[in-house]
Structure 1
């Protein structure tokens, strides 16, 4: 309530002088997660055309997050390390490290230090997201901040989505003639962490441009979005995957380990989006 009063006072007066401990920006975060069809890939009956000439329809999609972290890196967004835009010699930054051209996995902090950014990063706020999200409903909703939505002085440049589990299921068929397999096959892909494991099943990094300082308006509306599409399945050769006794292709099954690993790698390349709208000073 106190933060809301301060925010309204600032907006009403057109200016605001922050007292110590009140934060340099008051963020109002919302989250949206979706599995969306691509218009240029949609068939007349609602399937999605894949690059492999298979066609896929997702009718179940659930995501569970442990939270979204707002992270500030030393050096800020004006030249510091940004995992969504890695420096020359690096690619595919996810899960706290980047792939170097020689194949080595290098931690974010080491890359930031190499760039002269001081090598440090800090989580200025965590956005808890409760319950599984229905990616087919794709609703946007407001979330809280821990420890506070009144941010300290920082240059927030990254949003890190910590995924506990992802479940995608539906049907797949072959558009080739002759078909590589007849009819349709049900499939399910489950990515999850072990019950006893505290490490996320996957970590997705996205760019956020959110300076929290006295030179920008204090009110900051932050709309965070994660959109998955059929592109995730472009490289899967469904004819090589093993079906279970019930006829369902369980991509997470031991027999389909290669496809499961490939999907994990493709998921890691997905970058969540962030839109920041600043209020009046």
Structure 2
């Protein structure tokens, strides 16, 4: 009887973290996404200098995120697979697949398995973001978790942002003494899925170091931050792009497909940041 009472008191003093079915870490996630001017690129009239000597001013920018998946390796270690740093034999990883040197598109899971990851990654929890994000007026938005914010015992190593739409509107001009085109040109970059597809238009992969076990405090604050800058537009030769009848450069125009592809490739290299804080705030 005495042993039973001692066992009962030990459970009571242990707190709710030891109750059956409780998560090891309870996550409080926030999401922030922004288009930020860089001081070293600053030019007059709110423009940002590009490496091509063009200058871009973004007047509106918005992004809709279908959800952010927090992933852990199905085999525990993930074999060190990081989509932001393609393994040997691959040139670019984005949108759930990697470009192999022979031209084949290989799913992340297969790449991780080739690296000894034991079957790739699994989704631990999904963070629904909800309303579109205004990138020019960024907010730190508290979000929920599906199926819940109490995590199992795991090591979250990756955050995958599935972007449903991304839209930029702005103006471009040439800063060279002999400009490649006169004056300013309006432009629109509108990335949206095809009508018959529910695939994200862009996937941002970032590293997350979130431990969920008995050795760390259960209260876990997770701040996810994505920053886009004018460097996105560096690859574009604006003088070669087709203008519409209204004078606007629309990257959705088939004539501008090559430039659009270059922007998508540059976007795929962007890695969101994650800050993890354990313990009570």
Q: Give the TM-score, by structure 2 length.
A: 0.90
Q: Please tell me whether residue 258 in structure 1 is matched to residue 258 in structure 2.
A: yes
Deviation at 1:14, TM superposition (A): 9.7
Q: Please tell me whether residue 118 in structure 1 is matched to residue 118 in structure 2.
A: yes
Q: 1:200-219 alignment to 2 at 5 Å?
A: 200-219=200-219
Deviations 1:132-190 (CA, angstroms, capped at 9, x unpaired): 11100011110000100001111111101001100001100000111111111111100
What is the CA–CA distance in structure 1 between the aligned matches of 2:140 and 2:240, rounded to whole Å? 38
Provide closer, same or farther for how the CA distance between residues 215 and 92 of structure 1 changes in structure 2, counting only shifts above 3 A: farther
Q: Does the CA-based 8 Å contact 2:49-2:56 persist in structure 1?
A: yes
Provide closer, same or farther for how the CA distance between residues 76 and 82 of structure 1 changes in structure 2, counting only shifts above 3 A: farther
Q: Does the CA-based 8 Å contact 2:74-2:120 persist in structure 1?
A: yes
Question: Secondary structure at the residue paired with 1:180?
Answer: coil
Provide closer, same or farther for how the CA distance between residues 238 and 217 of structure 1 changes in structure 2, counting only shifts above 3 A: same
What is the CA–CA distance in structure 1 between the aligned matches of 2:168 and 2:202, rounded to whole Å? 15
Q: Does the CA-based 8 Å contact 2:16-2:22 persist in structure 1?
A: no
**Which segment drifts farther, 168-177 or 86-95?**
86-95
Deviation at 1:102, TM superposition (A): 4.0
**Which segment drifts farther, 205-214 or 167-176?**
205-214
Deviations 1:204-237 (CA, angstroms, capped at 9, x unpaired): 1111111211222211110001111110110111
Aligned to 1:109: 109
Deviation at 1:77, TM superposition (A): 5.1
What is the CA–CA distance in structure 2 between the aligned matches of 1:262 and 1:221, rounded to whole Å? 35
Structure ID, larger Rg? 2
What is the CA–CA distance in structure 1 between the aligned matches of 2:265 and 2:14, rounded to whole Å? 47
Q: 1:237-256 alignment to 2 at 5 Å?
A: 237-256=237-256
Question: Secondary structure at the residue paired with 2:265?
Answer: helix
Q: Please tell me whether residue 181 in structure 1 is matched to residue 181 in structure 2.
A: yes
What is the CA–CA distance in structure 1 between the aligned matches of 2:265 and 2:149, rounded to whole Å? 33
Q: Does the CA-based 8 Å contact 2:62-2:133 persist in structure 1?
A: yes
Aligned to 2:93: 93
Where do 5+ consecutive residues of structure 2 fail to align?
Answer: 1-12
Question: Secondary structure at the residue paired with 1:37?
Answer: coil
What is the CA–CA distance in structure 2 between the aligned matches of 1:83 and 1:15, rounded to whole Å? 39
Aligned to 2:278: 278
Q: 1:40-79 alignment to 2 at 5 Å?
A: 40-76=40-76, 79=79
Question: Secondary structure at the residue paired with 2:112?
Answer: helix
Aligned to 1:168: 168
Deviation at 1:105, TM superposition (A): 2.5
Where do 5+ consecutive residues of structure 1 fail to align?
Answer: 1-12
CA RMSD after TM alignment: 1.8
What is the CA–CA distance in structure 2 between the aligned matches of 1:264 and 1:104, rounded to whole Å? 18
What is the CA–CA distance in structure 2 between the aligned matches of 1:274 and 1:197, rounded to whole Å? 29
Provide closer, same or farther for how the CA distance between residues 14 and 246 of structure 1 changes in structure 2, counting only shifts above 3 A: farther
Deviation at 1:45, TM superposition (A): 2.4
Aligned to 2:136: 136
Deviation at 1:80, TM superposition (A): 3.7
Deviations 1:48-106 (CA, angstroms, capped at 9, x unpaired): 00000000000110101111111111344585423234433334221112233444332
